Amino acid sequence: MTGFTIADLPDLTGRTAIVTGSNTGVGLSTARALAGAGARVVLAVRTTEKGRAAARTIRGDTEVRRLDLASLESVRAFAAGWQGPIDLLINNAGVSVPELRRTGDGFEMQFGTNHLGPFALTNLLLPHVDGRVVTVSSQAERVGRIDFDDPNDERTRYGQSRAYNRSKLANLLFTAELQRRLDAAGSKVLAQAAHPGFVASQMYAESGLAGRLMVRLLAQSPDEGALPVLYAAVADVPGNSFAGPSHFAHMRGAPELINRSAQARDPELAARLWSLSERLTGVPFPSQGV
């Protein structure tokens, strides 16, 4: 356990951070903390009206830009409109949907939004990144499996948890292979991952007595859930680190570096996923400028 708190954030004056999905929850708390430390924070959100409402709750320098990670067209437009350096790219946005849905590009919604969208966004923005890329994952990765013959559930029966777990495993494999490629290119940029823990949210409001009891006993606030993300963004830790809470099976508490599954540490699996992701999105690792 590190004892890390928001008070431990360094002065980020003059730094620029992009936080996806930052109009609510952990993303908003992350954006608020970074802006409070002096950073210019870009709230990259699907609905700009909600983003502007969130920005009004933040003290500091903020900007709202539209980004729909379920649309490669939107991802490309966001990246094409970007100018200037990026010190922190926080891939926070994610979804979990109960029924099979597809993105505009035909991807299974969770795999497309939680992995392929951030994959494309990161590679398109990477020539601008000077500092770190932090991707929000989950310990759900431990039971995740990637079917390379059917990654978008075109033949497999859809299951919400299975699809979510797959996307969170993909987040860690992406982080590992991104760091390997950055190292090979001689870049000083670091790729990190974070698990916010069990965070209280509206999704548990109608979860029954047992669910509400779990929230009361174990869940932490979005502000507390943001701490592992912030720790991954600024702490003196090596690339490809995985930060998460320190207590209750890494579900709450001050952040620390945590372990990941054996498959999330498999370099061959990470390289295979990267190749698949390049093929599906049409976005490669940049050949120069990293």
Q: What is the mean pLDDT of residues 215-222?
A: 80
Give, as one character, the DSSP assignment of residue 152: T
From 158, 164, 204, 231, the catalytic residue: 164
Residues 256-270 have pLDDT tens digits of: 999 999 999 999 999
Residues 90-117 have pLDDT tens digits of: 999 999 999 999 999 999 999 999 999 9
Is 262 part of a structural domain of the chain?
A: yes
Q: What is the mean pLDDT of residues 36-57?
A: 98
The pLDDT of residue 235 is 98
The pLDDT of residue 15 is 98
Is 258 part of a structural domain of the chain?
A: yes
Name the β-bridge partners of 89. 18, 133
Residue 158 is a catalytic residue: no
**How many domains does the structure of the chain reveal?**
1
What lies within 8 Å, CB to CB, of 103 at 6+ separation is: 70, 71, 109, 112, 113, 116, 117
Q: What is the CATH number of the domain that holds 230?
A: 3.40.50.720
Is 13 part of a structural domain of the chain?
A: yes
The pLDDT of residue 5 is 95
Task: Provide the domain limits for residue 227.
Answer: 9-281
The pLDDT of residue 276 is 98
Q: What is the mean pLDDT of residues 153-161?
A: 95
Average pLDDT of the residues of the chain: 94
Residues 196-218 have pLDDT tens digits of: 998 876 555 444 566 567 777 77
- Structure tokens of 278? 């390049």
Rounded CA-CA distance 114/101 in Å is 13
Is 290 part of a structural domain of the chain?
A: no
Residue 2: pLDDT band (50, 70, 90) is confident
Rounded CA-CA distance 19/92 in Å is 7
Segment (H or E) for 290: none
Kindly give the residue spans of alpha helices, DSSP state H, lying in 136-159. none
